[in-house]
Structure 1
């Protein structure tokens, strides 16, 4: 497992990842998605496990779910569990907000 650190302050992170929007970032060899709700940050795989749709084009629900743009499958951003379909769960990457920035473990 590798740990990456993004940003230096919460203000910088908030500018980088606007509320309930999805950003694509590259960490090492991995392209992943990053989103936030207030001071909770969510990192998850870029492609839907069902048909490999680009989740950066999805939406974040008020229940902290990523909604796939292709078939509207919903995945819990805390656990990756699919909510309304039968497919593999989404890979979620652990995040931790520290005084040095946002740690993302891949």
Structure 2
């Protein structure tokens, strides 16, 4: 596992990641999508596991699911579990938001 730090405070993160706007960041050699819903941050792979469509323009719903804009496959943002459709689970990465910014953990 490798940990990456974004920002230096919660305020930095609120400014860096506006609510409901998906941002792509590079962490080492990996591109990761980051999304804030209220006070919760989610990090996940930036392309749909089904057909590789970009999730940077995806939608979210009230069940904390991301919905691919291409075929409307739905994935749980916490677990990556497929909620609608047939493909592998979406990769999700643990996040921890603290007073010193956001830590995202990426498996090696």
TM-score (normalizing by structure 2)? 0.93
> Are 1:30 and 2:58 counterparts?
no
Which runs of no fewer than 5 residues in structure 1 stay unpaired?
none
Question: Runs ≥4 in structure 1, deviation > 2 angstroms?
Answer: none
Distance in 1, Cα, partners of 2:63 & 2:7: 26
**Equivalent residue for 1:55?**
55
Instruction: Report Cα offsets for 1:49-74 as digits up to 9, x if no partner.
Output: 11011111211222211110110111
The farther-off stretch of 39-48 and 60-69 is: 60-69
| 8 Å Cα contact 1:21-1:60 kept in structure 2 | no
Q: Distance in 2 between matches of 1:18 and 1:81?
A: 25
Question: Matches of 1:23 and 1:65 in 2, distance apart?
Answer: 16
**Secondary structure, aligned partner of 1:14:** helix
CA distance in 2, matches of 1:38, 1:13: 12
Aligned residues: 106
Q: What is the root-mean-square deviation in Å for CA atoms of aligned residues? A: 0.9
